Amino acid sequence: MKKDERRLKVGILGCGPIAQAAHFESATKARNADLYAICDVADDLRNRMAATHAPAKSYARYEEMLADPELEAVVIATSDSFHVPATVQALRAGKHVLCEKPLGISVEEVESLREVVAKSGKTLQVGHMKRFDAGLQSAKSFIDTEMGELLALKAWYCDSTHRYAMTDAVQPLMVKSANARKPAQDPKADLERYYMLAHGCHLLDTARYFGGEIVEVEARLRNRFGAYCWFIDVAFASGALGHLDLTVAVRMDWHEGFQIYGQNGSVIGKTYNPWYYKTSDVDIFREATGETTRILGADGHFYRRQLEGFADTILNGTAMTGADVEDGIASVRGMAAIAQSVKSGKSVKLVDVTGSV
């Protein structure tokens, strides 16, 4: 792959599954970035990844990686509860940050980031990589320039019971280590919370990417035969109606997509399991011409495209099209509001919400 002359020197914190499946390859393939450093406390894992991906530097301690004057940016690829502290450390060390989603696990901790980002003068982007799916980008461009008023939006994100058969077939074999640093509490101990943090944050970000600010949610949850289904009524600030469906896991293929009803046309999208690196099928219907168009999006590497967008913002001042700190905060507020609405049976305003997801 052709590389630009000026490239962002990126360090990746964490050599776990997401780094192995997405970030190492993204940094080595990116046109405008290099895999400058990797970091993991687990020596066996880090050494194996260093041998495979050949970064210039390899660090056991995060502080040491951050103290490297040549390092320009970090990708935070660790467990959710480490995101905010690791982001703060990097910004204070003068490094730009691409932090995996969700930005954090409580409203208060993500709110605290706003000021740290502003003071640092550095770029913080959140890893809502679906914003770099060319299909979703084509819908966004239609919404912003041609669609007129939004009437309603429906979006669904339904993980499949067959997802590991699918991902095992296409991802590299994951290298694990008994020495990896994990949070004190196993994130999968509470599946309701884990599914919301892992998957719900994507659904909320997609809804906000298209529909704008969400102000209120009313959510119901059913748990049957081990499957969790959230149906969420959403009020957008624009007055448009929204309905979100998060189901983990459906007894069928991966099922993700959206429908958007606008003044001058409509959009229907089908999104694939991300590890297939296949751009969503997004059909845009224009009322004026009576025609439907669909972009091919031959380059479906959302994670590499996300890193390239991040690097473009830093190196060339290109406007950020990824999720910024406000988007990251809004997604966490949305998840916390959904959890509270499920508990109380009432609708919850996002401005009122506090506490953990």
Cβ 326 to ligand NAD shortest distance, Å: 19
Question: Which of 183, 239, 233, 170 lies closest to 211 in space, CA to CA?
Answer: 239
Question: Which of 33, 93, 35 lies closest to 62 in space, CA to CA?
Answer: 93
Q: Can you tell me the distance from the alpha carbon of 264 to that of 296, in angstroms, rounded to the nearest whole number?
A: 23
Cβ 302 to ligand NAD shortest distance, Å: 8
3-state helix, strand, coil in the chain (%, to 5): 40, 30, 30
Closer CB to ligand NAD, residue 175 or residue 215?
175
Q: Which stretch binds ligand NAD (CB under 6 A): 142-150, 178-186, 255-263, 293-301?
A: 178-186
143, 210 Cβ separation under 8 angstroms = yes
**Is 47 one of the binding residues for ligand NAD (CB under 6 A)?**
no
Q: Which stretch binds ligand NAD (CB under 6 A): 75-83, 113-121, 225-233, 316-324?
A: 75-83
Cβ 104 to ligand NAD shortest distance, Å: 10
**Is 269 one of the binding residues for ligand NAD (CB under 6 A)?**
no
Question: Which of 17, 204, 185, 229 lies closest to 103 in space, CA to CA?
Answer: 204
**Is 180 one of the binding residues for ligand NAD (CB under 6 A)?**
yes
Cβ 261 to ligand NAD shortest distance, Å: 28
Site for ligand NAD in 193-212 (CB under 6 A): 198
Q: Is 62 helix (H, G, I), strand (E, B) or coil?
A: helix
**Is 17 one of the binding residues for ligand NAD (CB under 6 A)?**
yes
Cβ 285 to ligand NAD shortest distance, Å: 29
**Is 280 one of the binding residues for ligand NAD (CB under 6 A)?**
no
Site for ligand NAD in 90-109 (CB under 6 A): 100-101
297, 135 Cβ separation under 8 angstroms = yes
Enclosing H/E stretch for 30: none
74, 57 Cβ separation under 8 angstroms = no
Interface mask (CB under 6 A) for ligand NAD, residues 121-160, using x and -? ------x-x-------------------------------
Q: Which stretch binds ligand NAD (CB under 6 A): 11-19, 221-229, 263-271, 346-354?
A: 11-19
Q: Is 52 helix (H, G, I), strand (E, B) or coil?
A: helix
**Is 78 one of the binding residues for ligand NAD (CB under 6 A)?**
yes
**R_g of the chain computed on alpha carbons:** 20
Q: Can you tell me the distance from the alpha carbon of 236 to that of 239, in angstroms, rounded to the nearest whole number?
A: 5
Enclosing H/E stretch for 218: strand 214-224
Interface mask (CB under 6 A) for ligand NAD, residues 227-266, using x and -? ----------------------------------------
201, 75 Cβ separation under 8 angstroms = no
Q: Can you tell me the distance from the alpha carbon of 89 to that of 26, in angstroms, rounded to the nearest whole number?
A: 23
Closer CB to ligand NAD, residue 19 or residue 357?
19
* Per rule CB under 6 A, count of chain residues that contact ligand NAD: 26
Q: Is 89 helix (H, G, I), strand (E, B) or coil?
A: helix
**How far is residue 325 from each of residues 101, 128, 196, 228, 332, measured CA to CA in Å?**
11, 11, 19, 29, 11
**Is 24 one of the binding residues for ligand NAD (CB under 6 A)?**
no
**Is 82 one of the binding residues for ligand NAD (CB under 6 A)?**
yes
**Is 80 one of the binding residues for ligand NAD (CB under 6 A)?**
yes
Which positions touch ligand NAD (CB under 6 A)?
14-19, 39-42, 45, 62, 77-80, 82, 100-101, 127, 129, 180-182, 198, 274
